[in-house]
Structure 1
């Protein structure tokens, strides 16, 4: 059964990339996108795709639930798939409006309870630019 997760056997921190500011190889960080979908035009996919694009351009690996689920399936089925995918990630990037979404609030709570760092998507960019991602992940976002 396809899960939308990486199938090449790599884990989140096993892929390497070069940080252009430091010129050294460092692990890539996989972020899960959490945000509102239900009740939005086009399931809010344009916002998910835009954030995915912005984060991948600076070097993050992104798991985008807009690419995983099937809107014709019940909410609980899509949430199980999404949470399973989120658990394979290093952190959670929150889209605008996430706190009004029951699904995104559930994803956030699961992430926090399990020590997975979660913050607004644009904060991940600031963390990256300031070489603070590894510390943020190590502390669970605290």
Structure 2
């Protein structure tokens, strides 16, 4: 089917298959499904398939490492928030200045808000790294 698709799109043999991306799924399926009689060509195709798989695994590894870094940042943010909350609570009990106490109390309320802010920060970090990855991919092509 894949070879029919390629030949149907380009029936003129002199023009050939003029796709920009020769590593498209149609070509990979066509090459993998049709037997190759020449051992040298088969070796080259096999090496190409192995290199392609290595590249896919490296890309997946890179994405997983980026996600790990994102989650580490999120955990760091959560730890910093709890630490600041504890410090501010101690400071509120020790402070006698009313104006400073009011300002600190407002800040403490911000720190004790629900985890929605943390979730928003997580999404911001994730979106920024996702955009960076897309920019890297667009520059490579």
TM bucket by the smaller chain? under 0.3
Q: TM-score, normalised by structure 1?
A: 0.20
Greater relative contact order (Cα < 8 A, sep 6+): 1
**Greater Rg over alpha carbons, structure:** 2
Q: TM-score, normalised by structure 2?
A: 0.21
More strand by share: 1
